[in-house]
Structures are given as structure tokens and as C-alpha cells.
Amino acid sequence: MAGVRGRSIVVVMIVFLVVMILRPRRGERETPDGRGGACATLGRQRSISSLAARWARGICRGKLFQTGAREVTMFSWLRRKGRQRIGTGESAAAPNLASVRATGEASDTAGPVPIGENPANPGFSARGQMGLSNSGRSWPEKLDCPVALRQVLEKHGHAVRADGDVIVEQESGLALRALLAGFEPIQPVGIKTTTTIEIRHPVKIPEPIFEYQHSSGDSAQESISKGFEQWYALDFAPLTDAMRADPRNCLVMKLDFIQGEWAGMKRRVVLGPVGHFRQHAVQEKPREGSDEHPFCSCCLFTRCLDAFKAKVESRGFYALRLYAVRGPDGAADADCRINGEDFDPGKDALKRYVGTWPAAGVEFRKQYVIVQDAPEDGGASEERAPEPPGAAKELELVGV
């Protein structure tokens, strides 16, 4: 009898130990990710090998493991579907790897928390260290977003200074805060990163705006640096020209209101360089009798102007991200943000604009456009009444 009782005690102890080993640790929550074979952990000092072992045994197959009380959505690489959501219970699919761990100054048991001044900015860390692991190996990654941004600006001849984690471009006075917003290891090596750059100016941009950068590289720091290079190529020129009374690098549209309640208001639009890819060369032929012309740096904005009418005809600083694409199947898609946040009317207008492009296979057009008060405008910043019917506007296009 004593032997049976002893064996029963042993069995109970073994079952208890198995349950304790396999259950999620305190502070860790399991959430179905919609696809199998991957786990991710963020923001907690945990052993990668223990998660990898659980993944290999199939314990967490089809699950997304995330530490802390908050859910953290990882960014899709090909296209960002809305802002990164924290605390909503909605999770993106985990990367096809055994485990991912991110640590650093912004890490805590509740998971990564956005630290930018703009509450819509999902960036959660300026610098830190990541431990990455896949089925073949584990390796450490260090990242420093402010250093990467500073190096890009200095490489292009700009004088900068660091104010903590903020990089100040001294000629324009732009204060730039670079943050990591998401990452995804690549099999078998490499990493994809999503970063944000938050932008402030003491006079022109008192409330910070931000924009995303997506890139990939053999290391986290290389990927981040490449993303900042792409940001510099399209976004930096219109931003700095918007700080100047006389732009140096971009085409400028000036809009003067000459009648009605808006009389005397002066606005301007700074058109940044266009990123343009077209699979097949075509000869664009404007319709006879129309005012159309071959694609130029004004077209992406002016052909969708109705969507932005309210921003053009009101005071304030608006930075527009315009991106339109035609896929291999001819389907139109687009992305539009204002000051970093999604703007659906602009997205819809850009998709309609894609339908007017000549047949040329895969094609995309991308641009950063600034809409702001003109320097010569003497009006105050108070709210104005809606434009009365018949109020006239005078448009001038200035090439620089």
C-alpha cells in the first residue's frame, strides 16, 4: 500500500513539474497569431534558449508570446496597415523565427512604450541592444538611432549638434528625434527595421510631427542607417526649404487669397523631389485640349488637390506623405499621411490618380510635400471662418 502511495506521490509531483515548466511565466500572455511556427518576446530580460526550446518542442506553435500586460503589434514589412497598436489586443503575425527579444533603455516588463513627444508616434527606443535567434543561430544586435541619423546628416555636409537624443540641424534649426518603431529578423541572416523621425521647430513646427522609414540590412544599425538615407533623399530638402524665406532646392507654389474673409492670407506649398519607378518606358501624351502635361514634381499633389483643400485653405503646418503604386496585376494602392498620421481622403484620391497613369507595368510615385503659411503672410494664427462663396485665389508657381 505504501509503495502504491509513494508511486502516486511521484506521479503527482511529475505532473506538477511538467505543468509548471510548460505554463507561461507570470507577466507573459499567449495570443494566437494566425500562423504557426513562430514566437516573439519583447521588452523583458528573458532567456532566448528557453523560448527556442519550447518552440522546437511545438509548445508554442501557432502562438505569439509577448511579455507584460500589453500587446505589441509588429509592423508589416511590405505595407504598414495602420498605426502600431499597443494595448488593443490586436496583434500582427509574428516573424518566422524561433524567438525575438528587444531590450534597451525603453524596455520594461510592460513591453515597449512609445517615448516620442507626439502621442501618435509609435517609436519606443532611441538606442539599445537586441538578442535575435532563429532555428540556426543566436546573435546580439546593438542599435543607436541618434548616432545613425547624425552620421547621415554629417555625411551630406550638415552641421549638427546633439541635445540628448535629439539631433539639431543647425542651419535650419530643425530638431530631429530618431526612434526604433519595429523590427523583423530575416531568415537566415539580416533584419528589417521600422523607424520614425520626429520633427520640431521652435517657430515653424511648435507641435512635433513625424514620419516613418522602412529598410533592411545585414545588421540593425545598417538597416536603420539605410532608412535614414532614404528619408534624407526625399524628405529633408522640403523640410529645410520650408524653414527658409527663399527655398533653395524645391519647386514652390504660392497661393494668395485676394477677396472675402480670407483676403490677405498667403499660403505656400513646398514640393519635395519625387521618387519614381516605372517598369516600362512610355511616351506620355496629354489629352488634346486639356491642361494636362507629362508627369512632373507638381502632379502628385495637384492631381489630388481636392483631398487637401481644407489644409491648403487654413492656417498651419502640414507635412504630406504621398505614395501611389500600381502593382503587377494593375491594381492601384496608395498611402497618405499628414504629419505622420493616416489620411484616408488623400489615400483614396491617390488611388484614383493611379487609374489615369499610362500603361507601363509596375509603377510607383512617392513625394513629401509641405503646406504652410507663406513667410510674407502677416496674419495671426487664430481660427478663421470657412471661405465664403466666390472668394478669389491667385496661384503662382515658383521654380527654384
Residue spans of the domains in the chain: they are: 25-242, 251-398
Region of residue 37 (left: phi > 0; alpha: psi -120 to 50; beta: else): left
Please write the tens of the pLDDT for every residue from 111-148. Answer: 678 899 999 999 999 999 888 776 777 888 899 999 99
Nearest to 31 by CA among 103, 75, 93, 122: 93
Strand order in the sheet with 99-104: 99-104, 127-133, 138-144
> What mean pLDDT do residues 212-235 have?
97
Please write the tens of the pLDDT for every residue from 128-138. Answer: 988 877 677 78
List the alpha helices (DSSP H) in the chain.
Answer: 2-22, 48-56, 145-155, 220-231, 237-242, 299-302, 309-312, 344-354
> What mean pLDDT do residues 168-189 have?
93
Which pLDDT does position 54 carry in this prediction? 32
Nearest to 106 by CA among 128, 86, 131, 85: 128
Which pLDDT does position 22 carry in this prediction? 41
Q: Where are the beta strands (DSSP E) in the chain?
A: 28-32, 63-67, 99-104, 127-133, 138-144, 160-163, 166-169, 174-185, 191-201, 205-217, 251-257, 266-271, 275-278, 318-326, 332-338, 341-342, 363-373, 393-398
Cell numbers 524645391 correspond to 250
Mean pLDDT (the chain) is 74
259 band by pLDDT with thresholds 50, 70 and 90: confident
Residues forming a β-bridge with 101: 131
